[in-house]
Amino acid sequence: QPHLQESGPGLVKPSETLSLTCAVSGGSLTSSNYYWGWIRQPPGKGLEWIGSIFYSGITYYNPSLESRVTISVDMSKNQFSLRVSSVTAADTAVYFCARRAAADSFDVWGQGTMVTVSS
């Protein structure tokens, strides 16, 4: 199975843009027709799916975030990225990248990265 690793700033100011990258190792983004996605978890709370992308660039977003979210893929670096614009304190969360697998479950996850929105 591939290994996923998130990276990006741990602190973002309100109204600015949150940017994270998920590096995929031990496997190719283009293999086996998998979708790749982002999921977040506010401190002490449950999980929220943000969106998913196919290596061809096809994307699906959660309507609750769609106006502020962009997910993109860089096949040359075998990684995909998340951008969330106009962040507020409500965007403070651990952000996970994950692989979407059978029956639309998520079978491989990154370790997660904490992002705090604060001035």
Binding residues for another protein (CB under 8 A):
46-49, 60, 62-64, 96, 98, 101-107, 109-112
Non-local CB neighbours of 4 within 8 Å, separated by 6+ positions: 22, 23, 24, 97, 98, 99, 108, 109, 110
Closest CB to another protein among residues 79, 113: 113
CB of 78 to another protein, least distance (A): 20
* Cβ neighbours, 10 Å, residue 26: 10
Structure tokens belonging to residue 18: 């949150």
Closest CB to another protein among residues 90, 102: 102
Beta strands in 43-105 (DSSP E): 48-54, 59-61, 69-74, 79-84, 93-100
Closest CB to another protein among residues 15, 109: 109
Closest CB to another protein among residues 62, 70: 62
CB of 4 to another protein, least distance (A): 9
**Distance between CA atoms of residues 9 and 68, nearest Å:** 18
- Cβ(110)–Cβ(48) below 8 Å: no
CB of 32 to another protein, least distance (A): 15
CB of 54 to another protein, least distance (A): 14
